[in-house]
Each structure stands twice: as structure tokens, then as C-alpha cells.
Amino acid sequence: MFVEFSTNSSYNMHKTVLLVAGPTAVGKTNVSLQLAKHFGTEIISADSRQCYKEITIGVAKPSVPELQQVQHHFINSHSIHDSLNAASFEQYALDHVTALFQQHDFAVMVGGTGLYIKAFCEGMDDIPAIDETIRFKIQEEYQQKGIEWLQQQIQTHDPLFAVEGEMQNPQRMMRALEVVLSTGQSVLRFRKGEKQERPFNIIKIGLELPREELYQRINHRVDVMMKDGLLEEAGTVYPLRQLNALQTVGYKELFDYFDGTVSLETAVDKIKQHSRQYAKRQLTWFKRDVEMKWFLPTQLNEIIQYVEHKIKKPEHK
């Protein structure tokens, strides 16, 4: 239970986005549902994979009963055949927040995709159009030759990214490579670091758990996913494994099993290992944000009180 505040009390009626962020399996879904119900509003997902309608179990979408409790956006909204990135999410989320603010003073955003959240909060730098032929060739080569080839290409064509970028993240590396091959400049050169002002408030709530507890939750979640049919779900999309939407933890490892290169036990262990590594990267990303206020996922009382305090402060931006 958490404390109840009257929604028609002395709120400073500014339009406000309540952002709930944190690593995978930490408990973001429940907190976002409670906030959305408490403030009488809807939820926008900031997850780069839950938007795809063809995959469900491996991306840990909210359950059907949870989705029925509160209206969600950017869940089951797109196909794995669609080309999505942080810039397209930024536009989608801004459009939906604007629409929500016609009827609500609050909107809840929840997710763990740091770049999507950053794009929504701060805007994206203007990067020139990318040659689709180059993009497809990079994706094809990566599928055939793996991450070592990708790392070597980055070191050759974009030494700046090789030093400062995420050299263990295939999506970031493919993006960097397509930009440098299309424009002749490092993707990092396009990052001006200038934050765009938003015409609404954003209150950032970070969720965390002790590392051992979080890792146990991740391992258990993977076991539950397997019992719920993740293997069968991965099998249905295996023929489309080259799509960018499927280059993600939970599917890549099972595709290797289908290829016969690893055992099922090894594939499941790899899903757990890669999920834990992903959670660590997520925390590192979000911890850099000094505006993020951190809570345990069980601290619903404290989260509500924190939001109440922030929206009453006249200096809150």
C-alpha cells in the first residue's frame, strides 16, 4: 500500500511527465501502473523492443491484465519490419504526450532504453540521412561475421567512436559505422550536447535493487520466460533473424541454438548472463543523470511523496 493524496488538492497544475527508469527486471511495470492509476493518466513505454507486436515473452511486456488496467502507448504499436530509432521514438512520444496533456495534467513514461529516454528528454542531434544500401550491407555483414568484424570496422573507419563509444553494443556500432560510411564523419561529431527545452516538466524516478537481488530476479525471469514459451516464440521469428528488431537478448541466443552451435542449456545460461550485463549497462547509463532520484521499487509511499513535493515547488522545471 502507499499513501493516498487527493488529486484535486493543491497541485501546481503544470503539465508533468513522470519518468520511471531503471534496469531490466527491477520492477518498473508495477511502479508505473501505480503512478498512472494514482494520477489518473496513461503510460508511454520507453522500451525499444516492447513496441513490436510479433514478440512478447522475450521482451517482458506487461501482462494482458496489466495492459488492461491502464492505457499503454508504444507497446504492440509497430512491426519488427518497421525501422525505428531514438529519433522516431522522440517524435512518437512527443506527439502522444501532447495528446495526453489535452485531458491530463500528468503522463507516465516507463522504460529502460536509455537513448530513447534521452531523446525524449533532451532531443536528438541532426544526423544526415543514411544510405539504406549501406545500412543493409552492414547488417548483412554483421550477421555473417559477428561482433569482432564490427569492432574491426569501427576501429578502421571511426577511431573516435572506437575510443569513446560503446564497443560491446552491436546496435550502437552498426549505427556508428553506417553514419561514418554515409557522411565521412564520426557519429560523435554530430552530438552537440545541447539540450532542447521541453514545454512541460519531467520528474525522473530511478529504480534500483542490491546487485545480487537484481541478478536473482533476472535469472528467475528468464526461467519463467522459458516456461511461458520463449523457445517457441523465438522459433516463430527465427526465419526473420536478420531483422534489426531481433538483434536482442533472449532471441539471438536461441537463434544460435536453432543453428546448432550451442546447446539449449548454454543458450539459456547466455540469456541470463547477457541480461545481467545489460542491466549493468543500463544502471551505468542512468546513474550519470544527476536529475534522477533513486528509490527501491517497493518505496511507493516515498515515490508519491517525492512527486508531490516536486510539483508543489514553484522553482520546479
Percent of residues, the chain, with pLDDT higher than 90: 73
Is the model's pLDDT at 9 over the cut of 60?
no
Reported confidence tier of residue 119, pLDDT bands at 50, 70, 90:
very high
pLDDT of residue 121: 96
Reported confidence tier of residue 317, pLDDT bands at 50, 70, 90:
very low
Is the model's pLDDT at 8 over the cut of 90?
no
* Domains of the chain, CATH where assigned: 16-124+194-312 (3.40.50.300), 132-190 (1.10.20.140)
List the grid coordinates of 145.
561475421
Residue 89 CA to residue 102 CA, distance in Å, equals: 20
Is the model's pLDDT at 5 over the cut of 80?
no
Lowest-confidence pick of 1-5, 87-91, 183-187, 311-315: 1-5
Pick from 313, 311, 234, 306: nearest CA to 270? 234
Reported confidence tier of residue 6, pLDDT bands at 50, 70, 90:
very low
Reported confidence tier of residue 163, pLDDT bands at 50, 70, 90:
confident
pLDDT of residue 166: 81
The half-sphere exposure of 252 on its side-chain side, counting CA atoms within 13 A, is 19
State which amino acid sits at residue 15. Answer: K
pTM of the model: 0.81
Is the model's pLDDT at 139 over the cut of 90?
no
Helices (H), the chain: 28-38, 64-69, 86-100, 114-122, 132-157, 159-164, 170-183, 211-228, 230-237, 252-259, 264-287, 300-312
pLDDT of residue 138: 92
Reported confidence tier of residue 314, pLDDT bands at 50, 70, 90:
low
Report the sign of the C-alpha dihedral through residues 117, 104, 92, 25, in that order.
positive
Per-residue pLDDT, averaged over 77-104, amounts to 94
Matching residue, cell 495492459? 67
Question: How high is the mean pLDDT of the chain?
Answer: 91
Residue 203 CA to residue 16 CA, distance in Å, equals: 7
Tens of pLDDT along 208-265? 999 999 999 999 999 999 999 999 999 999 999 988 899 899 999 999 999 999 999 9
Percent of residues, the chain, with pLDDT higher than 70: 93
Pick from 73, 58, 88: nearest CA to 246? 58
Is the model's pLDDT at 13 over the cut of 90?
no
Is the model's pLDDT at 3 over the cut of 80?
no
pLDDT of residue 1: 33
Reported confidence tier of residue 316, pLDDT bands at 50, 70, 90:
very low
pLDDT of residue 193: 64
Q: CB count, 10 Å around CB of 106?
A: 26
